[in-house]
Amino acid sequence: MNPLLTLLQINDSVFPIGSFTHSYGLETYIHKGIVHDSKSTEAYAEKMLRYNFFYNDAAFFHETWKICEKKALKQKLIELDSFITSLKSPYEIREASKKLAIRFLKVVESFQSVRRCKTYLEAIQAGEAHGHYPMAFAMYAHAQNITLEDGLSAFYYNSLNGIVTNCAKLVPISQMDGQKILFKLQPLIKELVNKQADMDPDMIGNCCVVQDIRCMQHEKLYTRIYIS
């Protein structure tokens, strides 16, 4: 298989795992008028990547990758899964991570069975693990001989693209403005990917209190389009 084509496929916005149904608290920011135009969308996206994603899902991706490199799989992965679950305080965010992980693992299993992915899916279904999307994505990418830099870059871009796509629908912003934001923040993704391995382990799961609150508030919004 071609690693580049595989990466493009699993990172495609139409990859059928339901990611388009989640805003990860963004809907609350828009509802409160905090994110309301292209400028505030860019600011929100930049801060989410730099102060939330870097310390959380991207860090979880990287930790999973390191476990896969050592080939000491199931127990270490279950321990990491439990650790991640404890760090995701908002219920909707925990469940979003689980739903995306299960759907992702089921889809890739239908392509070609990957032992580590199948083992993780079975652990989730048996209640041994909760299930987290960054772990599932990293496990499969590693098994397909995708490089860490490419896999992590794509993972960052996928998150950024989700933010921009949701803002295009909800704010709304124009598709052209959305593309400009995606292009403008490419250097930030490169910067964060280059820094990921040097991140202080004690900072993994660093809590963004306001973001967690917005995610919790989303559960009580009068009108909701997104699941999270």
Reported as a single tens digit per residue, the pLDDT across 86-119 is 999 999 999 999 999 999 999 999 998 899 999 9
* CA Rg value for the chain: 17
pTM above 0.75, yes or no: yes
Flag whether 17 is in a domain.
no
Query: Is 83 in a helix, a strand, or coil?
Result: helix
Flag whether 53 is in a domain.
yes
Domain that holds residue 209: 3-10+25-218
Q: Which amino acid is at 218?
A: H
Flag whether 209 is in a domain.
yes
Flag whether 16 is in a domain.
no
Give 166-181 pLDDT, tens digit per residue: 999 899 999 999 999 9
Closest CA to 87 of 228, 205, 223, 221: 205
Flag whether 19 is in a domain.
no
In CATH, what number is assigned to the domain containing residue 124?
1.10.4190.10
